[in-house]
Amino acid sequence: MPTQATANGSPTIHLRAVDGYIITPDGASIYIWGYRDETGRAAQLPGPTIIVNQGDTVTIKLTNELRENVSLMFPGQNGVFRLTNRGAVPVGPIYENGRLVSLTDYVPPRGTVIYQFVASQPGTYIYHSGTEINKQVPMGLYGVIIVRPAGFDPLDPATWSAYGPETDTEFDREYLLVVAEIDPVLHEAVRLGKPYRPSTYRPRYWTINGRCAPDTMLPDRATYLPHQPYGSMIMAEPGERVLIRYIGAGCDAHPLHPHGNHTRVVALDGRLLRNGTQDLSHKHFTVLVGPGQTYDQIFQWDGLGYDPVTNPIPTPIPNLRNQAIGDVGWTMWSGSPYLGQKGDIPIGVTSLNVTGEYYFMLHSHSEPQITNWGEFPGGMMTMIGIFPVGTLGPEVGRLQRNSRANSTRERR
């Protein structure tokens, strides 16, 4: 259950910049730098999702447990201050000996810096390091800030929207998909203290929420992915409004699409696509998720209402033996083309299908990116599961504040 402040609260979040390791489905272990919160033990990828309310005065403490200067930038938040003994000072570029050493106020190793801003606008935002950003952000020092619109009550689904009443952004479930790339050779260079050479950049892993497929489809907080706590399996029931937030945290642009469906883009970079009464939201099949940018979308699956008795699929269903399923010994197919029904599965194949739900892919259409070091399938890919009406609990598609937060730990 996520924790939320009441309106105009003053949440304090304590992040630490630390190192750690993530694992990939092909068995690799990759050294990262990342942020963790008070409950984590090592860097997590992406950093803890920070959820605040519109109007909150947000205080973020950053403690540096790395061996070089580090900082936090909040693109899209205006009026960011650093709290000092002499009061609040606006953050800005830092020069030393005539050299730009940080785009914003930083903290040296073992120190703590305190940033503060008012979350004035609802929406989806990035946070990331502002120091040596050609290295520190690709190393993993990034995360997401979600600002809830005024009036949002996590306990009252009637108030759930991305941008407030009358914005046509109401949702029943919501999902966060942070995309990025990893060049493990550059990460290894940092681990070994060797020169970091961006000119050699060649990503081999493409991540959603810090995971490569098929790990993307595992649940949140899967115990065997201790530093990649966020899953990205999208689950919904027919007709539900699903808010999907795409965030480009890496350095490259990624064309994401859900197979066979469109999403309606309702906001960019935390700003609603609406001018007065003019609705600028628009449907896309493929959304090019550019680096440093966020895309909020409302997705709805209504299907065509097929039913074996009242509305049968008007074409012969291929014979089971003509269906190429289960080459690897398992399938997510139910065995039936009808939602909520199960059918025959070839002998020797295990169906992971729970209750006759549909699955279709959501992935980067730059298809070399749906590999893990060249091996298909993998990378920037996940699934959307459409479940029969009444089969998903209310806990599905609820954004959690961070890796292991509970309702009291960060109560402000």
Partner 1 sequence: MLVSIELWARPGIVSLPGGFPAVIWGLATSPTAAPQVPGPVLEATVGDMVEITLHNMLNEPVSLTFPGQEIAPEPVLDASGRLVSLTRFAAPGRSVVYSFPAYRPGTFRYESGTSPERQVQMGLYGALIVRPAGWDDPASPNYYTAYGADTGSGYDVEAVILLSEFDRAAHEVIATGDVYNPLNYAPQYWLVNGRPFPDCVAPPDTSTQPLTSRVPVLVGQRVLLRLINSGFLAHTLAFQEGPARVVAEDGRPRRSPLLDATYDKNAITLGAGQSADLVFTPPEGEHYLYDRDLLHLVNTDDYPGGMMALVDVRTAFPVTPPEAPSSLTATAALPGQVELTWINNAADEDGFVLERRTGAGPFLRVTTLMVGATAYTDTHVEANTTYTYRVLAFNLAGTSAYSNEAVVTTLP
List Cβ neighbours of 275 (8 Å cut-off, separation of 6 or more): none
Q: Which is nearer to partner 1, 90 or 312 (CB)?
A: 90
Q: Which of 242, 247, 273, 345 binds partner 1 (CB under 8 A)?
A: 273
Encoded one letter per residue, x for contact with partner 1 by CB under 8 A and - for no contact, window 201-240 reads x---------------------------------------
**ω into 214 cis (within 30 of 0):** yes
Classify 139 as helix, strand or coil.
coil
148 makes contact with partner 1 (CB under 8 A)? no
137 makes contact with partner 1 (CB under 8 A)? yes
Q: Token pair of 338, please? A: 């009808």
- Number of residues located near partner 1, criterion CB under 8 A: 44
Q: Length of the chain in residues, anyone? A: 412
Residue 277 Cβ vs partner 1, minimum distance, rounded to whole Å: 10
Q: Which of 27, 87, 276, 305 binds partner 1 (CB under 8 A)?
A: 276
Instruction: Tell me how far apart the alpha carbons of residues 52 and 209 are, in angstroms, rounded to a whole number.
Output: 20
The DSSP string of 256-295 is: EEETT--EEEEEETTEESEETTEE--EEESSEEE-TT-EE
Q: Which of 252, 325, 367, 398 binds partner 1 (CB under 8 A)?
A: 252
376 makes contact with partner 1 (CB under 8 A)? no
Q: Which of 255, 290, 377, 388 binds partner 1 (CB under 8 A)?
A: 290
**Cα 349 to Cα 8, 157, 239, 358, 377, distances in angstroms:** 54, 40, 31, 18, 19
Encoded one letter per residue, x for contact with partner 1 by CB under 8 A and - for no contact, window 52-91 reads ---------------------x-xx-xx----------x-
150 makes contact with partner 1 (CB under 8 A)? no
Residue 291 Cβ vs partner 1, minimum distance, rounded to whole Å: 4
Chain centre distance of CA 288: 15
The DSSP string of 181-235 is: EE-HHHHHHHHTT----GGG----EEEETTB-BTGGGSPTT-TT-TT------EE
The DSSP string of 53-65 is: ETT-EEEEEEEE-
Residue 53 Cβ vs partner 1, minimum distance, rounded to whole Å: 20
Residue 195 Cβ vs partner 1, minimum distance, rounded to whole Å: 7
269 makes contact with partner 1 (CB under 8 A)? yes
Q: Which of 28, 42, 133, 396 binds partner 1 (CB under 8 A)?
A: 133
Interacting residues with partner 1 (CB under 8 A): 73, 75-76, 78-79, 90, 92-93, 95, 97-100, 103-104, 132-135, 137-138, 195-199, 201, 251-253, 268-271, 273, 275-276, 278, 280, 288, 290-293
